């Protein structure tokens, strides 16, 4: 019997993670649930959920609930945020909503209007 060859999995520049980018001229209305990381530069209304990290750039305007491992907000977010590990509010970040986090970092100049619940980090 012939033995099957095992080939190494193809690698991508980001180390194999799926990364979805919503550019500055993109908009999403609805629910996005992905396995991997998400980078938002455009407009979103609805719900965002990622198994990996979520980054909201300074050009983004998000009217949605957000759930991710590490969440970084440098743009405008109106909605509740769940960061299983860490939420980082950058200096240009504006977040209006309740947050549930493992860890919280707020840079000088950022604003957070809502309740904060801290729980142990989840994987």
pLDDT digits (tens, 9 = 90+) for 92-107: 999 999 999 999 999 9
Task: Convert the pLDDT of each residue in 60-84 to its tens digit.
Answer: 999 999 999 999 999 999 999 999 9
DSSP type of residue 117: E
Q: Domain segments of the chain: what residues?
A: 19-118
Q: What DSSP string runs through 35-91?
A: SSEEEE-SEEEEEEEESS-EEE-TT-EEEEEEEEEEEEE-SEEES-EEEEEEEEE-T
Task: Convert the pLDDT of each residue in 9-18 to its tens digit.
Answer: 333 444 557 8
Using CA atoms, how far residue 79 sits from 12, 97, 112, in Å, is 32, 5, 11
Could you tell me the sign of the dihedral formed by the alpha carbons of 11, 12, 15, 21, in that order? Answer: negative
Q: pTM of the prediction?
A: 0.84
């Amino acid at each position: 019997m012939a033995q099957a060859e095992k080939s190494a999995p193809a690698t991508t520049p980001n180390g194999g993670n799926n990364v979805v980018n919503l550019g500055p001229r993109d908009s999403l209305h609805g629910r996005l649930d992905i396995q991997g990381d998400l980078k938002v530069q455009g407009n979103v209304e609805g719900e965002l959920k990622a198994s990996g990290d979520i980054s909201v750039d300074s050009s983004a305007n998000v009217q949605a609930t957000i759930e991710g491992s590490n969440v970084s907000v440098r743009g405008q977010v109106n909605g509740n945020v769940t960061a299983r590990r860490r939420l980082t509010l950058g200096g240009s970040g504006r977040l209006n909503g309740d947050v549930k986090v493992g860890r919280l970092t707020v840079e000088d100049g950022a604003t957070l209007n809502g309740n904060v619940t801290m729980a142990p980090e989840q994987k």
